[in-house]
């Protein structure tokens, strides 16, 4: 995770060979990453409780959504409040198609993916062309208004969306939760497990795509735009084009995340996918993990979703230890208060987000040890 561009630069320059012909050996960091993925794959077999699996699936989905938001905010310097809207577009496209189809088949999911991609790309192009050239604050406000509009549309257009009640639907083909394929290691292999692995592999694939994108020549230009757009123009980059790439790619990934989310819950309503609170959560996750780190989204998503799911319970069982105290019962009910405190602490101790701060420390150490080496020479 810490092993970022800076490190590769260092190796390249210090060696003066600069060639990358030999395949590099696995670093301990790579091993750690692979370990986490394997662990995620084993979760359904280790923990019989659905709760754990549910939390893990949500962490994976939000990792993806948050990482795609980081591409916009952390890498390109675009603050778009419409990111949650694209997540909702994905969720609703799969929900609506499966709900309004008499006998859904596997290809309806493909159609939903295509539709959500077309809508997301089209909409992000429209947003870019109309508002990217204006000042950042206006862009933020415009996207906020658009996201709110999407929420209202979801609530009001009852004939299509079912309004506030939302729509529940069943998945076709092997994804259907009622399908069972047998048992492995005391765990039933059913449609839900198939969806779990679909989420795991989709997240892995798309996240890798995001990492690759940010490390490509285009991704590097994006970072330069975030830093100093005027300078990037002076170098001869057509920054507008690059910003569009970023928005289009980021929004598409967010809408794919929405599809996974809807497939996992088999239910959507306007509040669960279009609400501003979702957008705020995404923003919080990016800040906690560290803007411009991509891998930080794993930390941010895990932190937020785990505390949201288990902090209330934890507090409740803690309060049960002292059942006679009314004050403690009341205090234990306000889990969001403690969440707020936790968040403040994280921001206080990790001003650049958890991963961002760790990386900054690490880089500083590398530079310091290097200058000591130079002095010894």
Partner 1 sequence: MTMTPAIETRNLSIQFGGHVAVDCLDIQVDPFCLKSIIGPNGAGKTTLFNLISGQYQPTQGQVLFNGKDITRMSAAKRAQLGIGRSFQLTNIFSSLTVLENVRLAIQSRQQIGMVFWKDFSKYPELEEAAYDCLQQVRLQDKTLHEASVLTHGEQRKLEIAILLALDPSVLLLDEPTAGMSLEDVPAILEIIQDIKSQQNRTILLVEHKFDMIMALSDSIAVLQEGRIICDDTPEAVSGNPVVMEAYLGGGVKHE
Binding site for partner 1 (CB under 8 A): 5-6, 8-10, 12-13, 18-20, 212-213, 215-221, 223-224, 226-228, 230-237, 245, 363, 366-367, 370, 374
Tell me whether residue 99 or residue 207 sits nearer to partner 1 (CB atom): 207
Tell me whether residue 131 or residue 223 sits nearer to partner 1 (CB atom): 223
CB of 370 to partner 1, least distance (A): 7
CB of 208 to partner 1, least distance (A): 12
CB of 213 to partner 1, least distance (A): 5
> Environment class of residue 120 by beta-carbon count within 10 Å: exposed (0-12), middle (13-18) or buried (19+)?
buried
| Residue 330 in tokens | 């009341």
Note whether 73 and 79 are within 8 A (CB).
Answer: yes
Task: Count CA within 13 A, CB hemisphere, residue 34.
Answer: 6
Instruction: Please report, for residues 88, 187, 258, 278, the alpha-carbon distance to residue 272 in angstroms, rounded to integers and kept in the order given.
Output: 8, 30, 11, 7
Tell me whether residue 135 or residue 377 sits nearer to partner 1 (CB atom): 377
Tell me whether residue 8 or residue 188 sits nearer to partner 1 (CB atom): 8
CB of 254 to partner 1, least distance (A): 18
CB of 355 to partner 1, least distance (A): 15
CB of 212 to partner 1, least distance (A): 7
How many CB atoms neighbour CB 276 within 10 A?
A: 14
Tell me whether residue 182 or residue 236 sits nearer to partner 1 (CB atom): 236
Tell me whether residue 111 or residue 211 sits nearer to partner 1 (CB atom): 211
The CA distance from 300 to 347, in Å, is 12
Tell me whether residue 207 or residue 303 sits nearer to partner 1 (CB atom): 207
DSSP labels, 102-131: SS--HHHHHHHHHHHHHHHHHHHHHHHHHH
CB of 264 to partner 1, least distance (A): 29
Tell me whether residue 171 or residue 232 sits nearer to partner 1 (CB atom): 232
Angle at 358 between CA 304 and CA 208, to 5 degrees: 65
CB of 217 to partner 1, least distance (A): 5
Helix (H/G/I), strand (E/B), else coil: 29:
helix
- 68 Cβ contact partners less than 8 Å away, ≥ 6 residues apart: 83, 206, 210, 249, 250, 251, 253, 254, 257
Helix (H/G/I), strand (E/B), else coil: 268:
strand
The CA distance from 89 to 179, in Å, is 28
Helix (H/G/I), strand (E/B), else coil: 188:
strand
């Amino acid at each position: 995770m810490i092993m970022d561009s800076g490190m590769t630069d260092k190796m390249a320059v210090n060696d003066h060979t600069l060639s990358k012909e030999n395949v590099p050996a696995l670093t301990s960091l790579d091993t750690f990453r692979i370990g986490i993925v394997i662990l995620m794959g084993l979760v359904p077999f280790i923990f019989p409780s659905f709760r754990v699996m549910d939390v893990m699936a949500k962490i994976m989905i939000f990792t993806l959504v948050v990482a795609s938001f980081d591409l916009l905010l952390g890498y390109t310097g675009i603050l778009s409040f419409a990111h949650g809207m694209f997540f909702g577009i994905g969720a609703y496209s799969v929900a609506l198609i499966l709900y309004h189809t008499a006998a859904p088949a596997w290809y309806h999911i493909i159609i939903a993916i295509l539709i959500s991609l077309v809508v997301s790309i089209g909409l992000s192009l429209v947003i870019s062309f109309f508002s990217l050239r204006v000042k950042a604050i206006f862009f933020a406000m415009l996207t906020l208004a658009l996201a709110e509009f999407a929420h209202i549309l979801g609530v009001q257009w009852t004939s299509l969306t079912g309004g506030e009640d939302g729509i529940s639907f069943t998945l076709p083909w092997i994804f259907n939760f009622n399908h069972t394929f047998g048992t492995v290691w005391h765990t039933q292999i059913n449609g839900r497990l198939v969806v779990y692995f679909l989420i795991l592999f989709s997240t892995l694939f798309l996240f890798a795509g995001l990492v690759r994108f940010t490390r490509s020549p285009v991704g590097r230009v994006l970072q330069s735009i975030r830093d100093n757009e005027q300078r990037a123009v002076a170098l001869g980059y057509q920054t507008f084009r690059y910003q569009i790439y970023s928005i289009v790619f980021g929004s598409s990934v967010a809408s794919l995340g929405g599809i996974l989310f809807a497939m996992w819950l088999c239910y959507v309503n306007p509040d669960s996918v279009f609400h501003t609170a979702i957008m705020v959560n995404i923003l919080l996750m990016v800040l906690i993990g560290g803007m411009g780190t991509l891998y930080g989204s794993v930390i941010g998503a895990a932190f937020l979703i785990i505390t949201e799911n288990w902090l209330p319970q934890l507090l409740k069982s803690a309060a049960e230890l002292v059942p006679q105290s009314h004050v403690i019962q009341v205090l234990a009910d306000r889990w969001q208060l403690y969440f707020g405190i936790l968040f403040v602490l994280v921001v206080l101790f990790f001003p650049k987000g958890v991963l961002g701060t760790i990386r900054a420390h690490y880089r500083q150490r590398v530079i310091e040890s290097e200058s000591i080496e130079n002095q010894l020479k």
